[in-house]
């Protein structure tokens, strides 16, 4: 769970009771989002596209959940550096349950999660989920091809319009090349197996 207490700890006993009834993964599902209009709209579009090209993920489930030991061991076994954790957990295949919660407003301070960080999280989601990025690019290519065909059919004799279309297609190709290089960079990071963090000291409480 997040440390800002928007997800209230009072729901933890309900998660535990759900786990005791046989569920190995228990999510806290928000009844209602209290975000701004822009964030609600961007989240809705993001999950619609993600569910279209990758796994089915509940948009009202965040990072407030309870995991059984078997689920944790399964996650650790993957050794992934780039991971969209909430989506990855929902696709693990364990018996999953949900507890409905009312999320509080932020009482103090402002979120440090900027728009650029949200974009990075979204890109990580498409990278880490199976075939997500390749399917997204395929859908974009089909859409651009269809729009280009319609545009050429309507404005074939207009030289300026055709020139603009070629310019747009060149930009799209550069966009795809950029995504390819970013994807290769992610792949190299995974191959290098760099640790996500370095442990300075390990304390054994039992020895103390």
State the 10-residue block means of pLDDT for the chain, 208 residues long: 81 92 90 76 81 76 88 82 78 85 76 74 74 75 82 75 80 82 77 73 68
Give residue 13's pLDDT: 92
Q: For 207, list phi and psi in degrees, rounded to 5.
A: -70, -30
Give residue 207's pLDDT: 54
In terms of Cβ atoms closer than 10 Å to its own Cβ (0-12, 13-18, 19+), residue 32 is exposed
Alpha helices, H only, the chain:
12-20, 37-53, 69-78, 85-90, 115-128, 132-155, 159-192
Residue 131 φ/ψ region, left for φ over 0, alpha for ψ in the -120 to 50 degree band, beta for the rest = left
pTM: 0.65
Strand arrangement, sheet containing 96-101: 61-67, 25-30, 96-101
3-class secondary-structure state, position 64: strand
Give residue 201's pLDDT: 80
- Encoded tokens for 15: 């998660």
pLDDT in tens, 102-153: 887 776 767 676 777 777 777 777 777 766 677 777 788 888 888 878 877 7
- Encoded tokens for 28: 């806290």
DSSP 8-class letter at 23: -
Give residue 73's pLDDT: 87
Residue closest to 137 by CA, chosen among 165, 173, 170, 164: 173
């Amino acid at each position: 769970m997040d440390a800002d207490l928007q997800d209230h700890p009072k729901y933890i006993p309900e998660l535990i009771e759900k786990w005791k009834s046989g569920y190995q993964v228990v999510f806290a599902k928000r009844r209602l989002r209290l975000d701004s209009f822009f964030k609600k709209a961007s989240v809705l579009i993001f999950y619609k596209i993600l569910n279209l090209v990758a796994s089915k993920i509940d948009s009202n489930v965040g990072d407030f959940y309870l995991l059984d030991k078997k689920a944790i061991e399964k996650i650790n076994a993957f050794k992934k550096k780039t991971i969209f954790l909430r989506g990855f957990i929902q696709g693990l295949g364990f018996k999953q349950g949900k507890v409905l919660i009312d999320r509080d407003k932020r009482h103090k301070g402002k979120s440090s999660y900027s728009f650029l960080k949200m974009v990075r999280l979204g890109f990580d989601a498409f990278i880490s989920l199976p075939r997500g990025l390749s399917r997204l690019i395929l859908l974009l290519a089909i859409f651009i091809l269809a729009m280009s065909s319609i545009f050429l059919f309507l404005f074939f004799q207009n030289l300026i319009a055709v020139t603009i279309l070629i310019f747009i297609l060149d930009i799209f190709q550069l966009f795809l090349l950029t995504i390819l290089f970013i994807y290769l960079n992610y792949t190299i990071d995974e191959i290098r197996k760099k640790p996500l963090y370095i442990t300075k000291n390990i304390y054994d409480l039992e020895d103390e």
